[in-house]
């Protein structure tokens, strides 16, 4: 357990660095944890570029699979002055990001300050997967999630091996995908999608799925009808799990546990709720969710290290490790 962080929103490790953790702080810092201590010098400082607060800020970090050699990594943040979603590429050397290496890959205007998504993750295909919320407000008033002409409310991927990667659309119909992760064994993608006023949901995109997928928002909230209108493009895929606002108010997606330290969690997908702090797990092979006997205040994210062990991030400033 590590305390004393300032509004952390994500924790991860870089390939080839099993003793070092990187913590994303919402205001625009990436901090380094080594030997249980927070390094004084940040790994990256983009506070002058970031507008932070509410659902805005520095929200995502992904290290390239080649990071050990290339030093390349990617961040997702909301830009100061415009509130737009920005995805930048940087390089690092000697344990520090090189500020002058910044390359802007993508900018997406945001009509409102909420529902920015913000997560980044490399998939088994070597591409960078990006999930964006529907643009904000409430109820998707401009119907962006079902409109394939905008990247808002979508899941897409970038082939960052190319000089100027273009978004490749994978799925429509997301409200606010708040953390998603590939199962390191199967390659399935598990997504926590934040609901509107009644239902929080977990979606799964199975590896090998072909064609455009539609997760339903804002025609559906969870498995229930939200608006009486025609579904947009793609094949409807409904949630594998959902819960009502009697149990929480904002889902935080997690990981399928493939580590060794907590045997009773092996092969189970863990997720939780930001408001209630409740953590659930369910078999990745299918089955009912169960409530785990722990709670985490302001549960904003989960994290996975290079060995597959899991962590939980409290936005109040603490990171917890799952243990036997």
Closest C-alpha among 171, 172, 217 to residue 197:
217
**Whether the model pTM is above 0.95:** yes
Task: For residue range 24-83, list pLDDT tens digits in order.
Answer: 999 999 999 998 899 999 999 999 999 999 999 999 999 999 999 999 999 999 999 999
Q: Where are the domains of the chain?
A: 8-321
pLDDT digits (tens, 9 = 90+) for 227-262: 999 999 999 999 999 999 999 999 999 999 999 999
What is the percent of the chain with per-residue pLDDT over 90, rounded to a whole number? Answer: 97
169-181: average pLDDT: 98
**2 falls in which pLDDT band (50, 70, 90)?**
confident
> For the structural domain made of 8-321, what CATH number should be given?
2.120.10.30
Q: pLDDT tens across 293-304, in order?
A: 999 999 999 999
Q: What is residue 35's predicted lDDT score, i.e. its pLDDT?
A: 87
Confidence at 324, pLDDT banded by 50, 70, 90: confident
User: CB-side exposure of 210: number of CA atoms within 13 Å?
Assistant: 0
Q: How far apart are CA 200 and CA 288, in angstroms?
A: 15
**In sequence order, what DSSP letters do the residues of 160-196 get, joined into one string?**
TTSSS---EEEEE--S-EEEEEE-TTT--EEEEE--S
Secondary structure of residue 1 in the 3-state scheme: coil
pLDDT of residue 118: 97
Band of residue 188 on the pLDDT scale cut at 50, 70, 90: very high
pLDDT at 319 over 80: yes
Confidence tier at 10 by pLDDT (50, 70, 90): very high
Report the percent of the chain where pLDDT is more than 70.
100
Average pLDDT of the residues of the chain: 97
**What pLDDT, in 10s, does the model give residues 196-238?**
999 999 999 999 999 999 999 999 999 999 999 999 999 999 9
Higher pLDDT, 76 or 164: 76
Q: Which residues contact 127 (CB under 8 A, 6 or more apart)?
A: 157, 158, 159, 160, 168
State both tokens at 39. 């390094």
The confidence score (pLDDT) of residue 163 equals 86
* 12-35 average pLDDT score: 96
pLDDT over threshold 80, residue 1: no
Q: Identify the CA nearest to 272 among candidates 207, 213, 190.
A: 190
């Amino acid at each position: 357990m590590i305390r004393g962080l300032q509004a952390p929103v994500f924790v991860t490790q870089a390939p080839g660095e099993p003793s070092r953790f990187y913590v994303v702080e919402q205001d625009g810092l990436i901090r380094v944890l080594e030997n249980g201590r927070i390094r004084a010098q940040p790994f990256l400082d983009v506070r002058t570029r970031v507008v932070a607060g509410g659902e805005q800020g520095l929200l995502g970090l992904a290290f390239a699979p080649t990071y050990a050699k290339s030093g390349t990594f990617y961040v997702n943040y909301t830009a100061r002055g415009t509130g737009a979603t920005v995805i930048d590429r940087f390089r690092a050397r000697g344990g520090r990001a090189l500020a002058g290496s910044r390359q802007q890959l993508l900018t997406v205007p945001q009509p409102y300050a909420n529902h920015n998504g913000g997560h980044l993750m490399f998939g088994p295909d070597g591409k960078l997967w990006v999930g964006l919320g529907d643009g904000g407000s409430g109820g998707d008033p401009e119907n962006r999630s079902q409109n394939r002409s905008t990247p808002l409310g979508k899941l897409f991927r970038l082939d960052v091996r190319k000089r100027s990667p273009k978004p490749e659309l994978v799925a429509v119909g997301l409200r606010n995908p708040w953390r998603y992760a590939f199962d390191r064994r199967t390659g399935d993608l598990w997504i926590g999608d934040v609901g509107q006023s009644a239902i929080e949901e977990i979606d799964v995109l199975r590896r090998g799925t072909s064609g455009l997928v539609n997760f339903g928002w804002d025609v559906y909230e969870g498995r229930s009808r939200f608006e009486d209108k025609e579904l947009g493009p793609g094949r409807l895929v409904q949630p594998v799990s959902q819960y009502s606002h009697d149990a929480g108010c904002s889902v935080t997606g997690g990981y399928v546990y493939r580590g060794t330290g907590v045997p009773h969690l092996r092969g189970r997908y863990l997720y939780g709720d930001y408001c209630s702090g409740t953590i659930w797990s369910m078999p990745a092979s299918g089955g009912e969710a169960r409530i785990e006997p722990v709670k985490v205040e302001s549960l904003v994210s989960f994290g996975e290290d290079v060995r597959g062990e899991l962590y939980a991030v409290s936005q109040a400033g603490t990171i917890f490790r799952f243990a036997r």
